[in-house]
Homo-oligomer: A and B are copies of this chain.
Amino acid sequence: MYTVKQLSTLAGVTPRTLHHYDRIDLLKPEEVGENGYRYYGQQSLLRLQQILFYRELGFSLESIRDILNRPDFRIVDALEEHRSSLQGRVRRLERLIRTVNETIQHLKGETKMNDRRLFAGFGEEQQEEYARQAEQLYDPETVRASNRKWKSYPVAKKQAILEEGRQVYLDMAAVMSQGPASPEVQAIVERWRVHMDYFWTPGLDQLLELAAMYSQSPDFKANFDQIHPQLADFMGEAVRVYVENQR
């Protein structure tokens, strides 16, 4: 059993916050002594953790209370949602970091920057959008279409296409030192995009997804890493720059 002070230091909040959460029926102590003191136990810890996760993600205390009180609330499911939401937050911060870097280069006169890019990463929370894109990439129809197109080529052409792809990646590895935003690298991204047409024609969002897969899927990454240990990650970065420039 924790007292208010103990729980507050444990969780990194103030005692006042716990008073507030009690008042609004968000987190009630499990026991109250005859002196009126609040005492919290294990259940409170897990509930407070959930509250803090939701709060971190921008939920209002009222909606948090409603969520946690729903009879079909499953804590493990919620935690898995938190994970992907937090990962989304990381991606957003990484975009902001890129905006910082580009602005520095812009101010030093090394590159030019349009006004929209000055604010890239600030507004966009769009999590729903992301789900839609992923769906489309893994959509069975997309996969089937891709396979059909690929199978329609004669063997010799297949080999030529694979070799062309390999050459794109080799060329990319050769100019990695120029940086993801360099004209050399961006030209190769363009070649890569054209190359993908042999399989199917991805939209801009799907390009991003593809490049992300190169980093995330272990077997893809292993192949790329044979060419250069950072090629997969670098491709992701270069394609992100490419897509931003296209919009």
Which A residues lie at the B interface, using CB under 8 A? 10-13, 45-46, 48-49, 52-53, 56, 75-76, 79-80, 82-83, 86-87, 89-90, 93-94, 96-97, 100-101, 103-104, 107-108, 115-116, 118-119, 122-124, 225, 229-230
| 21 CB-based A-B contacts, threshold 8 Å | A10-B116, A11-B123, A12-B119, A12-B123, A12-B124, A46-B118, A48-B119, A52-B119, A53-B96, A56-B122, A76-B104, A76-B107, A76-B108, A80-B104, A82-B100, A86-B93, A86-B97, A90-B94, A90-B97, A93-B93, A225-B229
Contact A11 B119 (CB under 8 A): yes
Complex contacts, A80 vs chain B, CB 8 Å: 100, 104
Name the residue on B nearest A101 (C-beta). B83
Contact A75 B107 (CB under 8 A): yes
Contact B229 A12 (CB under 8 A): no
Contact A122 B82 (CB under 8 A): no
A49 touches which of B10, B76, B119 (Cβ 8 Å): B119
Please measure, in the bound complex, the distance between the C-alpha atom of A13 and the C-alpha atom of B107, giving whole angstroms. Answer: 23
Chain A interface, >50% SS class: helix
A93 touches which of B75, B89, B101, B225 (Cβ 8 Å): B89
Please measure, in the bound complex, the distance between the C-alpha atom of A97 and the C-alpha atom of B10, giving whole angstroms. Answer: 18
Name the residue on B nearest A9 (C-beta). B123
Complex contacts, A103 vs chain B, CB 8 Å: 49, 79
Given pairs A79-B107, A83-B101, A225-B230, 10 additional interface contacts (CB within 8 A): A13-B122, A45-B115, A49-B103, A52-B119, A79-B104, A80-B100, A86-B96, A89-B93, A90-B94, A225-B229
Please measure, in the bound complex, the distance between the C-alpha atom of A56 and the C-alpha atom of B123, giving whole angstroms. Answer: 11
Please measure, in the bound complex, the distance between the C-alpha atom of A90 and the C-alpha atom of B12, giving whole angstroms. Answer: 19
A11-B123, A46-B118, A230-B229 as given contacts; A87 in contact with B79, CB under 8 Å: no
> A244 to chain B: closest CB distance in Å?
15
Please measure, in the bound complex, the distance between the C-alpha atom of A123 and the C-alpha atom of B96, giving whole angstroms. Answer: 23
9 A-B pairs with least C-beta separation: A12-B123, A229-B229, A11-B119, A12-B122, A83-B100, A225-B229, A86-B97, A90-B93, A79-B100
